[in-house]
Structure 1
Amino acid sequence: MIQFFETYECKIDDKGRLKLPSSLVKHLENLGGNFVVKRSVFNTCLEVYPVKTWEQTIQTIGKVNRFKARNLEFIRKFTAGLKTVEIDKAERILISKDLKTFANLEKEVVVAGMIDYFEVWDKTAYEENIKTNEADFAQLTEEVMGDVNFDDDEK
């Protein structure tokens, strides 16, 4: 099972080369070393998918009726700017200029695991996004996880 759950602070240079931590690189290489980078739908960050995960995502999207204009618009926007990348010998991935601009990536970035993919954020934007008070997070946790029946997973 693919699992990304750690958060890393990294650096990106002016050419868009994102230096990844060695521990993440080892995990990524075990997944084949090729990845898809795309714009996030809900945030100003990037999503990086191992090809295997991306293929599952694209299979789901491929089931939508492409004879409906709204569906075509969704596919077009969902895949806008999408790039395939691989890890170079210096343990970096290249973020294209358009994707780097979209996510406002300058120097300091955060790589945040999202279970089967990871996000790449501008560090300041990431810190702002996760900022919350305890009561708000407790309420969010209850809303998202409160109806999950964990006993079903054990059967």
Structure 2
Amino acid sequence: MDNQTQSIMLRGIHTPTLDNKGRFALPSRLRPELADYCDSELVVTVDVDEPCLLIYPKPDWEIVQAKLMSLPSLNPQVRRLQRLLMGQAADLKLDSAGRVLLPSALRDHARLSHQLTLMGLGNKFELWDAATWQQTQDAYRDEMGQLDSSEVLQDLSL
């Protein structure tokens, strides 16, 4: 697969576990595709709005990083965003068992415990502590139930 023109589509929910060393295994069905697309190289960083981590295949992260670097660096909000996303980003490589080791500072940011939720969201994964994701998901459902017929939802077709 030519990773300069192709992309990978990440989707679905997986429930890996975090071991005592701070590693978790990516789903086995995704490993060959990740090996072809990005040589099993990933980049992990914090989510600036939620207590979770964002995990990108390296080629997709490089696109995000280029966009961040193209923003006006004299803008204090841009610098803060760059510091949060790029400054805390870490390179990951799948080991022979399909696991990645998460830096402890990033595990702390997401308050990860043993049970995890890994969601594919197109060009990236979100990694959540399973209990935190369940609470967040319940809150989202409650919010959705309280929405009126806004323009955005009226135009949505599933």
CA distance in 2, matches of 1:140, 1:93: 42
Q: Is the CA contact (8 Å cut-off) linking 1:13 and 1:106 kept in structure 2?
A: no
- How far apart are 1:138 and its partner, in Å? 8.6
Per the normalisation by structure 2, the TM-score is 0.83
| Deviation digits for residues 34-85 of structure 1 (CA, Å, limit 9, x no counterpart) | 1110001111000000111111111211111113333222211222321000
Provide the residue aligned with 2:3 in structure 1: none
CA distance in 1, matches of 2:31, 2:41: 11
| Deviation digits for residues 81-118 of structure 1 (CA, Å, limit 9, x no counterpart) | 21000100011011011111111111110110111100
1:84 to 82, 91, 97: 91
Structure 1 position 99 matched with structure 2 position 106: yes
Structure 1 position 42 matched with structure 2 position 49: yes
Please provide the CA RMSD for this pair.
2.5
CA distance in 2, matches of 1:140, 1:95: 40
CA distance in 2, matches of 1:98, 1:57: 21
Aligned length: 150
Segments of 4+ moved more than 6 angstroms? none
The residue identity in structure 2 corresponding to 1:111 is L
Unaligned runs of 5+ in 2: 1-6
Provide the residue aligned with 2:155 in structure 1: 147
Provide the residue aligned with 2:29 in structure 1: 23
Q: Is the CA contact (8 Å cut-off) linking 1:39 and 1:80 kept in structure 2?
A: no
Per the normalisation by structure 1, the TM-score is 0.84
The residue identity in structure 1 corresponding to 2:98 is E
